Amino acid sequence: SLVDNASLSDNLRCLECQEIEQVDFDIKYSSQWVPKPSVANFVTQTARELITSCANSYAEQNIEPYSDDKSIHKILEAVEAHSLLQRDLNAMVPNDKFFRFFSPYTAYDIVESALQYNIDERFNAKVTKPMLAEIRSESMSLEYFKRRDKGEYTKSTFTEYSNRKNMLQKIFSEECLIYKLGLVDRSKLLESLNKFSADGEQLENIMRIQIIEYWLRGYCESGGIYEI
């Protein structure tokens, strides 16, 4: 698979959703222009077909990659995603507040260094934290990368997740737009929410669904019409 000569459009046409439990996080990640999207088991077939349909639509547009090097393509793709997120976050900052959001993934020196790595010297296309820490700006503390205060197994983390879990149970026990649209199976989502997850991945997936649900509610309240 590492010598796969398929184009970006070819990969998009062959894109199929697979459940998270089936994803194989190995070096083959870098052999595709677009990794197969992983979805939780509560995501319905309707939603999966919608994702595939969108991918096919993009494929027909014959979109060119950012670079002939698949790894560089993915790095630039990540830079674009972080830049858009950073722009949207800063757009929400009130005019009377004097602070701005910053992402190390959009810093010129970091991106430039990342692009200089040859694909044969990478395990995959992702920018690693050790590299980001090594070439960080002088004004950025090394603690940003060590994250000692944000360890995955600290008491504060478990408390935060527990509180979030209770809130999600309340939200998704009621009627939701994602249920009406047939995008999510209610019983499977609630079952997944009640399962134990050592790494918190299941809960984070449902937190992403919450963002989509709230976006749909805001869109409808603004007079928009939703349909599949």
- pLDDT of amino acid 1: 40
Crossing angle for the helix pair 201-221 and 155-172, to the nearest 10 degrees: 50
**Closest among 73, 84, 68, 2 to 34, alpha carbons compared:** 73
Segment 6-18 shows an average pLDDT of 79
- The vertex-26 CA angle with 147 and 112, nearest 5°, equals 60
Segment 6-21 shows an average pLDDT of 75
How many CA atoms lie less than 13 Å away from 168 in the CB half-sphere? 24
CA 96 to chain CA centroid, nearest Å? 31
CA distance 222 to 84: 23
Q: What is the H or E stretch that residue 29 is in? A: none
Q: What are the pLDDT digits (tens) for 83-106?
A: 998 898 888 888 888 888 888 778
What integer best gives the mean pLDDT of the chain? Answer: 77
- pLDDT of amino acid 121: 54
Please say whether the beta carbons of 59 and 13 come within 8 A: yes
Which residues contact residue 119 at a Cβ distance below 8 angstroms, ignoring those fewer than 6 apart?
30, 69, 70, 71, 72
Q: How confident is the model at residue 64 (pLDDT cuts 50, 70, 90)?
A: confident
- pLDDT of amino acid 93: 86
Q: How confident is the model at residue 75 (pLDDT cuts 50, 70, 90)?
A: confident
Q: Is the pLDDT of residue 228 over 50?
A: no
- In percent, the amount of the chain with pLDDT more than 90 equals 16
Rounded to 5 degrees, what are φ and ψ at 68? Answer: -70, -20
- pLDDT of amino acid 185: 96
- pLDDT of amino acid 182: 95
Position with higher pLDDT, 81 vs 153: 81
